[in-house]
Copies of this chain bind each other. A is one copy, B any other.
């Protein structure tokens, strides 16, 4: 989604979204936040249910400084998200960092964490826009190709908008951060084992009509390397 970075608020404007641990990994540029969010397929959504937290994976989409979420009207976590604060995180693991000591093992990652009070979207046009953003986030080029949501489907769906005001980004890359004494002692292998996500070959649905070709927007993902970065 296109955004104009120069006119946007820097990250961490509130105390509770300011990164307090391992600050050298924090970024304050909204472009970093956008990139991490846009590269993800799912987020992990946290709500408070009956006084206790519950974390569930779910899809999402970003449009400027807004995250859209959707879910069934029958889902307890979505109903909780209509009336309370939520948090969501999107994390990419890019590699495993092998260190010379147990406590310095780490991962290379890109992680975005958002907190806030979502707003339930009730305007029909805005709901359709939000669902389009979510579908296009996961499967670019698909919305205009497929049947739009029916009235019945829409009636069973909660759509939420979460503002990206309270958001933080952490990015770690590079090799192990071993203690100088462990490096001096030597003798232990240390390094990074990179991890990548790649799309495989599309598998057409078995009940697909003959002659329907795989869309370019699907095929293009399999040739972009590496996916998700």
What is the bound-complex CA distance between A132 and B84, given in angstroms?
38
A149 to B41, CA, bound (A): 36
A84 vs B8: C-alpha distance in the bound complex, in angstroms? 36
| Contacts A113-B55, A148-B102; A204 near B186 (Cβ below 8 A) | no
Contact between A187 and B209, CB atoms less than 8 A apart: yes
A-B contact pairs, 25 of them (CB 8 A): A16-B50, A20-B74, A21-B72, A21-B74, A41-B195, A51-B85, A53-B115, A55-B113, A56-B89, A57-B89, A96-B139, A98-B139, A101-B149, A102-B147, A102-B148, A105-B142, A105-B146, A145-B189, A175-B205, A190-B205, A191-B204, A191-B218, A194-B200, A194-B203, A196-B199
A121 smallest CB distance to B (angstroms): 15
A146 to chain B, nearest CB (A): 5
Which residues of chain A have a CB within 8 Å of any CB of chain B?
16, 20-21, 41-42, 44-57, 59, 72, 74-76, 84-89, 91, 93, 95-96, 98-103, 105, 107, 109, 111, 113, 115, 131-132, 135, 138-139, 142-143, 145-150, 153, 157, 175-176, 178, 182-183, 185-209, 212-215, 218, 221-222, 227
The answer for the CA separation of A205 and B150 in the assembled complex, in Å, is 55
Q: Which chain B residues lie closer than 8 Å to A52 at the CB level?
A: 48, 84-85, 87, 115
Q: Which residues of B contact A21 (CB under 8 A)?
A: 72, 74-75
Please tell me if the beta carbons of A41 and B107 are within 8 angstroms of each other in the complex: yes
9 other A-B residue contacts (CB within 8 Å) besides A55-B113, A102-B146, A107-B138: A42-B109, A44-B55, A101-B153, A103-B149, A105-B135, A189-B215, A190-B208, A191-B214, A195-B199
Q: Closest CB-CB distance, A111 to chain B, in whole Å? A: 5
Query: CB-CB < 8 A to A75: which residues of B?
Result: 20-21
Determine the distance from Cα of A212 to Cα of B188 in the docked complex, in whole angstroms.
Answer: 7
From known contacts A103-B153, A188-B146, A200-B196, infer whether A175 and B85 are also in contact, taking CB-CB under 8 Å.
Answer: no
- Complex alpha-carbon distance, A111 and B45, angstroms: 13
Contact between B191 and A208 (Cβ–Cβ < 8 Å)? yes
For A74, list chain B residues within 8 Å (CB): 20-21
